[in-house]
Structure 1
Amino acid sequence: MEAATLPHPLALFIVTEIRRARGAAGMTQEAFGRAAGFSASHVSAVEGGTRALTMDFIKGGDRALTTGGMFERMVEKLGVPSWFLPWLDAERTATQLRCWQPSLVPGLLQTADYARAVIRCDDTLTDDEVDRRLADRMERQVILTGGNAPQFIAVIAEAVLRRAGEDFRQVMAAQIKHLIALAERPNISVHVLPDDISMHVGLTGPFSLARSPEHTWLGEMENQLGGVVIEKPADVDTLMTRWETVRNEALPRRHSIELMKEVVNSWT
């Protein structure tokens, strides 16, 4: 992959710090690369922002500079878990994205107010950490409206739309209107899985899929302890099969938009 992994300032910050530490140690790109397990041209490309910053490179930098894992810890401290880095890169370069969400609006489709409320559910986060994660999430959404925007298809459970107590209804109404507006874009489809489909394979949890420019697929699943990126072909195939099952149970695009409008109208 040939661009910086992270679509926000974290990648630039980490690369800058590694480059600064390399210079302070008096190491050329070639010497650093040998110690880190990469070619000099690879190091040059990462430092120049034309090749992906991966966790392998970050760990290699820690080994080469004998930092005791400082750069890896820095990534974790700044709010991007190491497991998520490959998915962020796959998401940013994808030609197609698929997402099934039974409990929340997908992150790429969230409004700032909705996203803040979701992030705020983790009461261990400081205000600064919440603000940083919110900014990162909003910046990720740029991929859907850029010049090379992927085709994005999301399926969400109807219950997601109706999860709105009196204190959250205004935020949810704005969120649904945002979904409707996004669903009118040619590259975005939002489908609703009706509540009357009581049992289906998607009940086991959310997942996402990304298709690379090289026509390969990568999966991602999140859970209470973090998440996992799915690369093994057999496992990706399983997710693809489950995606097709969930997608086939969902309402068509236009019917889904009408249902979303009905939900908002029922609150006024």
Structure 2
Amino acid sequence: MTDVPEVLAEFIVSEIRLARGAAGMTQDVFGRAAGYTASHVSAVENGTRALTVDFIRGADRALNTGGLFRRLATRLGAPSWFLRWLDAERTATQLRYFEPILIPGLLQTEHYARTVLRADDSLTDGEVEQLTAARMDRQKALTGDRPPQLVAVLDEGALRRSGDSFSGIMAQQIAHLRTMTELPHVHVLIIPATSGLHIGLSGPFALARSSEGQWVGHLENQLGGEAVDKDEDVAKLQVMWESVRNEALPRSASVDLLKEVETYHGPQ
């Protein structure tokens, strides 16, 4: 498994070392529980061997943390502008996503997410793997005990994107979307190509509603993103949401279109 970014790795290694000491575990005992040799543990703690996501998982297992270090790596590895939205998304009772180009992160397969992230050639392989893992972790919210209601409106163009090495990934992704629509709290609605121009083509956005009834919006752009919670900004996004949702096909017709598009991409 690939490396964790250096600054974050130093922090997590120091916390693992402290937790190991507090538990009274030698490097040998810890290593056997984590699936590594004592020399490997020593090298990671001394900074002569890279910290990996697999080692973090082993540390959580050995120290019985319930996944604490993995969550730290995921959370602290996120860019600062994204943390406000992650909080809103994680605690939401309702989620609204509009995407004109890509499948929303909460509904992406691992292969699709990795392929999309690799399109940014400024990211290292390690960063791509870390971001992919973080995205997969976020999806656990949809299968928990009290999942939020998720409504995703997608433009048909996002479903028909293809290429010599991409059609198989897209076929798998569409099949995953159809599976997700079988969950009672997940709704995927498609704006057909025949709708032509609509307001949503200006860019993706999302909305999250807390248990207290407060809404937070999220906007993405080429330089990052922005969480918005001012009443006037959220109100504008709500108006845009109603507009794009009104352009979309009903739920059953959207599922039929998903089946058609899956055939378009060919067998998985």
Separation (CA, whole Å) in 2 of partners of 1:122 and 1:161:
20
Q: Tell whether the 8 Å contact from 1:79 to 1:129 is kept in structure 2 after alignment.
A: no
Q: Tell whether the 8 Å contact from 2:162 to 2:265 is kept in structure 1 after alignment.
A: no
Percent of aligned pairs with the same amino acid = 55
2:186 is matched with which residue? 188
Deviations 1:117-169 (A, max 9, x none): 01101111111111111000000000011001000000000001100112211
2:246 is matched with which residue? 248
Q: Which runs of 4+ in 1 moved over 3 A?
A: none
Which of 232, 235, 238 lines up with 2:236 in the alignment?
238
Q: Tell whether the 8 Å contact from 1:75 to 1:81 is kept in structure 2 after alignment.
A: no
Corresponding residue SS for 1:123: coil
Q: Tell whether the 8 Å contact from 1:98 to 1:208 is kept in structure 2 after alignment.
A: yes
Matches within 5 A, 1:85-164: 85-164=83-162
Structure 1 position 79, deviation (Å): 3.5
1:219 is matched with which residue? 217
Aligned residues: 201
Deviations 1:3-55 (A, max 9, x none): xxxxxxx8xx67x86xx8xxxxxxxxxxxxxxxxxxxxxxxxxxxxxxxxxxx
Corresponding residue SS for 1:259: helix
**Distance 1:217-1:195 versus aligned 2 partners, 3 A rule:** same
Separation (CA, whole Å) in 1 of partners of 2:203 and 2:104:
13
- 2:259 equivalent to 1:266: no
Structure 1 position 267, deviation (Å): 3.9
2:36 is matched with which residue? none
Deviations 1:204-239 (A, max 9, x none): 100000000110100000100001101100100000
Structure 1 position 75, deviation (Å): 9.5
Corresponding residue SS for 1:196: helix
Partner amino acid, structure 2, of 1:152: L
Partner amino acid, structure 1, of 2:94: Q
TM normalised by structure 2 equals: 0.71
For structure 2, which runs of at least 5 residues remain unmatched after alignment?
1-7, 19-72
Corresponding residue SS for 1:165: coil
Corresponding residue SS for 2:213: coil
Separation (CA, whole Å) in 2 of partners of 1:103 and 1:217:
24
